[in-house]
Amino acid sequence: MKITSAIVAVLIVVLGLNSMFIVHEGQNAIVLQFGRIERTNDKPGLHFKLPFVQQVLRFDARIQNLDAKPERYFTVEKKSVNVDFYVKWRISNNRIFYQATAGEMQQAVQRLTPIVKDALRFEVNARHLDELISGGRKDITTRVRQLADKSTQKSLGITVVDVRIKRIDLPEEVSDSVYNRMRAERKKLANELRSTGQEASEKIRADADRQRQVMLADARRDAAKIRGEGDAQAAQIYAKAYNQDPKFFDFYRSLQAYRKAFSDGKGVLVMKPDSPFLKYFEAADGKP
């Protein structure tokens, strides 16, 4: 009797435990019975099911990240670009998600990726390269999110929360061509600036030379004028001094001549004794 009671108690405990399940925060769950969906969207908390008959499949209800490899697309002018993007998504309908992917997250990613890429290809094909590079990313990602979300809601039970373009690159061969073209344009611009600067330099140098010549001519003219005026004044002073005392003036001029002739102390003069230059070397009685 005791053994039977113990067995019954164990069975009750096992049945009780098997009839309860917990859905944690950030999860949703569906209840399956023989592979058929019985309940969906069980929220976090304690729930009940038929023991041994029904199974519980839990899904991560948090936002998931899809970081795809860069893909090559063509713009409206048939120029290729490599687009690197990522997608934020989450499960919105457990029933559709299970029916489409059997609850496998990896399978969901594999089916979601081409949907987003097709939407992105459609948007890139409709735009010019300049628009993609200069600031059309926000419009593109908004449209891609809308198109992808419309498709995945119905086919996968997934909501596309966000689509972002991380980088848009030109292929290597196109980058080289663009770089060479940009380098040629910059070189042309540099040559034009250099030519313009050289022309301006020549003009400034020519104008400076002209101003220099004018200034030198004016200076020579003014110097000649001042020198002439000074010579005229000196002549007037000499004439005035000579008229006041001709003998003293002759004496003074002779002294200046002597000082100049014998200033270095090495000068030698060969003259006749009666030379006018030596008249003030004579004695008081007129003899040398």
Q: Cα dist. 277→120, 212, 274, 280 in Å?
A: 115, 47, 8, 8
Mean predicted lDDT score pLDDT of the chain = 79
Going along the chain from its start, the domains and CATH numbers come out as 2-60 (no CATH), 64-176 (3.30.479.30), 245-288 (no CATH)
Confidence band for 76, pLDDT divided at 50, 70 and 90: confident
Higher pLDDT, 161 or 133: 161
CA–CA gap between residue 166 and residue 119 (Å, rounded):
16
Structure tokens at 219: 């200076």
The pLDDT of residue 187? 86
Confidence band for 112, pLDDT divided at 50, 70 and 90: very high
Q: Is the pLDDT of residue 37 over 90?
A: no
The pLDDT of residue 117? 92
Confidence band for 284, pLDDT divided at 50, 70 and 90: very low
The pLDDT of residue 114? 92
Q: What's the predicted TM-score (pTM) here?
A: 0.54
Q: Is the pLDDT of residue 16 over 60?
A: no
Among the listed residues 271, 282, 116, 172, the one whose alpha carbon sits nearest the alpha carbon of residue 124: 116
Q: Which of 42-51, 119-128, 213-222 has the least mean pLDDT?
A: 42-51
Task: Give the model confidence (pLDDT) of 164-202 as tens digits.
Answer: 888 888 766 655 666 677 788 888 888 888 888 888 888
Q: Is the pLDDT of residue 286 over 50?
A: no
Higher pLDDT, 255 or 283: 255
Task: Give the model confidence (pLDDT) of 144-168 as tens digits.
Answer: 899 999 999 989 999 999 998 888 8
Task: Give the model confidence (pLDDT) of 250-280 as tens digits.
Answer: 777 776 776 776 666 666 666 666 666 666 6
Q: Cα dist. 146→128, 163, 165 in Å?
A: 21, 9, 15
